[in-house]
Structure 1
Amino acid sequence: MIVVAGLSPAWQQILVFDEVSAGEVNRADKAHWCASGKVLNVARAVHALRGEVDTACPVGGPAGDAICDEFDTDGILAMWVPTRSSTRVCTTIIENTTGRVTEFVENARAITANELSEFESVYSQVASEADLCVLTGSLPEVEGQGKPTDLYARLMTASPRVILDVRGPELKAALPHRPLLVKPNREELGMTCGRVLRTDEEALNAMRELNAGGADWVLVTNGTDDVLLTNKSAVWRFSVPSVEVRNPIGCGDCLAAGIAVALSDGTDMIEAVRFGIAAAAQNATDILPARFDRTAVNELTHMVNVRSC
């Protein structure tokens, strides 16, 4: 069982245009709606890859109802924590003429201290039965308390092996609890370490800092550039398959899901990362996030090359 948990789900609107003209009325050729946000993308991707998954996540309002209905219809297990605030709505704009994708992100709304406590309780219940957990996404404010930057650190005390897809203070606070894998992108890694990372060598030095801080493995992506992986003693570089990109939103989430599924199946970390990169690449070829077939991902895995540096 893989447990996926996070506090920033979203109901996603995806609008497709030939081209968008700023300051003008633009009429979409197509519109799609789906559950999204990092936590839901990871959970759906694990399900699509035929992994056994349970989800811990807060939801509220009409958007929250739509998310629950979608997961129920598609048979994806979830432990929902009802919230007084409505779940956010985010919007993706896709322009077919240029291939440009623009994302409008609403920040997750504040939750109450009681809702946070309920989320932690629900997570502890499901995490105790898991062989791997994925903790992912930004943190909302807690009313009267600010952001609970130590939340993921607290959750890790109830977890077995953890893949951690967070950044900044939340990531730093969790490192002493020895996550199995952390996977910021290069920009997030720089934000966490407090400096701009312009070269691979600068990125590798920052990755080694996270290894020294407690992470067993550190994985860093940088768009379509090579993916870097470190442990405390070695470095690997992975190629990214060239695909026709329709919507890149959710690729990092599918990377995390692919790694989690492969590890849960007993694969070693190097091969799990290859599978995860293939899942991320396959995700980019579709309009909706995390709706792919494992067979296609298996085939794409052969296009991911790896070398030890």
Structure 2
Amino acid sequence: MIYTVTLNPALDRQIWVEDIKYDESNRIIKEATYAGGKGIDVSRVLANFGADNVALGFVGGFSGEELEGRLLNDGVRCNFTYISANTRTNIILNDEKTKSQTLFNAIGPEVQPQDLMRLIKQIQNLPNPEYIIISGSLPVGVQPAFYNKLIDTSKEVGAIVVFDTDGRAMKVGLSSKPHIIKPNIHELERLVDKKLKDINEIAQEARTICNKGINIVLVSMGAKGMLCVSSKEEYWACPPPVEVQNTIGAGDSSVAGFVLALKEGKSLKDALAFAVAAGTATTTRPGTAVCLPEDVELIYKNVTFRDIA
């Protein structure tokens, strides 16, 4: 069984306008709401492929109920930990003229210490945890060390742990040695505290992280594809050119594709190609992590590999 853990989920409200005019009234031409949050995005993509998975994390209030209801309608099984505060709502503004996308991410609710321990106890009693994907930002009042407890507990129950977050939380969480991490290029630069000029520098930093006890490092690089480094194998996969409509959830879709491929017994190289296809497919559709199997299969056939050195 695959489980996803999202500590700070959100309702993503997407708004489309023809041409944003500042200091004036702007008419909304279209709007939509999606259940969001990095782990939740992964669960939605897995569900699209018919992969059995359960979404875990914190939800609360009417917005939390709406989020869970939307996930249920998307075919995602949920077993959330309920808190007293409202789940956050993010605003995503799309300008049709410039094809630009502006994100307004809410801070989110404060999570109490007792809520944290309820989630830990839940993970200690999960049935058949093969993969546990821990991703996203921390809620108000939760310190990065909680990721250590989550990772340690997930490893103790025998799961392969996939970790995807940013900043200090990533740095702290790495000390618990999750099996797989998936920073994007900007997150990797923050992790290593320096700018990375080319694929060789990116690969070298990924190797350094692997040498510290991380089994697989995936680095997403947008249109330049994705790098995969393990102790024995290294690959750089690139997507075919596509018309990008949206970037929200592309990295999470890649995580879902990678884990699904590994679970199905694909090689590391094929899993990387499937991850690139899933992330790229998401960029071709409006909405949050809208990743359709037919799009992925078409793109997967056209993923290419390049030499790192």
One fold, TM greater than 0.5? Answer: yes
What do the CA deviations read for 1:158-214 (whole angstroms, capped 9, x no partner)? 342122112334333443544332110111111112222233232222212210111
Letter in 1 for 2:60: G
The 5-angstrom pairing of residues 89-100 of structure 1 reads 89-100=89-100
In structure 1, the partner of 2:14 is 14
1:86 corresponds to: 86
Kept in 1: contact 2:39–2:135 (CA 8 A) = yes
The reply on whether 1:206 has 2:205 as its aligned counterpart is yes
Q: In the alignment, which residue of structure 2 is the partner of 1:297?
A: 296
Letter in 2 for 1:154: D
In 1, Cα distance between equivalents of 2:37 and 2:158:
22
Shift of 1:74: 3.0
Give 1:71 shift. 1.9
Alignment of 1:216-231 (within 5 A): 216-231=215-230
**Equivalence for 2:141:** 142
Identity %: 24
- Alpha-carbon distance between aligned partners in 1 of 2:279 and 2:41, rounded to the nearest angstrom: 11
Q: Distance in 1 between matches of 2:158 and 2:106?
A: 30
> Using the alignment, how far apart are the partners of 1:4 and 1:34 within structure 2?
17
CA pair 98-198 structure 1, distance change in 2 beyond 3 A: same
Q: Which residue of 2 aligns with 1:280?
A: 279
What is residue 123 of structure 2 aligned with on the other side? 123
After superposing the two structures, state which structure 1 stretch, 246-255 or 171-180, moved more.
Answer: 171-180
Q: Which residue of 2 aligns with 1:161?
A: 160
Q: Contact 1:165–1:183 (CA<8 Å) still a contact in 2? A: yes
Relative distance call for 1:160 and 1:94 in structure 2 (3 A) is same
Counterpart of 1:268?
Answer: 267
In structure 1, the residue matched to 2:73 is: 73
- 1:124-150 deviation per Cα after TM superposition (whole angstroms, max 9, x unaligned): 323x4122221111112337x686353
- In terms of mean alpha carbon deviation, does 112-121 or 203-212 score higher? 203-212
Are the counterparts in 2 of residues 151 and 170 from structure 1 also a CA contact under 8 Å?
no
Residue 271 of structure 1: how far off its partner (Å): 0.7
Q: How many angstroms apart in 2 are the aligned matches of 1:98 and 1:212? A: 43
Residues 179 and 150 of structure 1: is their aligned pair in 2 closer, same or farther, counting only changes over 3 Å? closer
2:88 and 2:108 in contact (8 A); partners too: yes
Query: 1: distance between equivalents of 2:196 and 2:187?
Result: 10
Shift in CA distance, 47/149, structure 1 to aligned 2, threshold 3 Å:
closer
State which drifts further: 150-159 or 196-205: 150-159
**SS of 1:122's equivalent?**
helix
Q: What residue identity is the alignment partner of 1:227?
A: M
CA distance in 2, matches of 1:214, 1:84: 38
Q: Is 1:64 matched with 2:64? A: yes
Amino acid at match of 1:58: F
Query: Which consecutive segments of 4 or more residues in structure 1 shift more than 4 A?
Result: none
Is residue 144–residue 173 contact of structure 2 (8 Å, CA) maintained in 1? Answer: no
Q: Distance in 2 between matches of 1:179 and 1:276?
A: 19
- Name the TM-score, length of structure 2 as normaliser: 0.92
Q: Which whole-Å CA distance do the structure 2 matches of 1:185 and 1:151 have between them?
A: 24
2:37 alignment partner in structure 1? 37
Q: Give how far 1:274 is off.
A: 0.7
Once the two structures are superposed, residues 57-114 of structure 1 have per-residue CA deviations (whole angstroms, 9 ceiling, x without a partner) of 1101121010111122333111111111111110111111111111111123220001
Q: What is the TM-score with the length of structure 1 in the denominator? A: 0.92
Cα distance in structure 2, aligned partners of 1:104 and 1:241 = 30
Asked if structure 2 preserves the Cα contact closer than 8 Å seen for 1:141 and 1:147, the reply is no
The answer as to 2:130 corresponding to 1:114 is no
Deviation at 1:291, TM superposition (A): 3.1
**What is aligned with 2:53?**
53
Q: 1:172 matched to which residue of 2?
A: 171
Question: Which amino acid counterpart does residue 39 of structure 1 have in structure 2?
Answer: G
What RMSD, in angstroms, separates the aligned Cα atoms of the two structures?
1.9
1:146 and 1:226, CA in 2 relative to 1: closer, same or farther beyond 3 A? closer
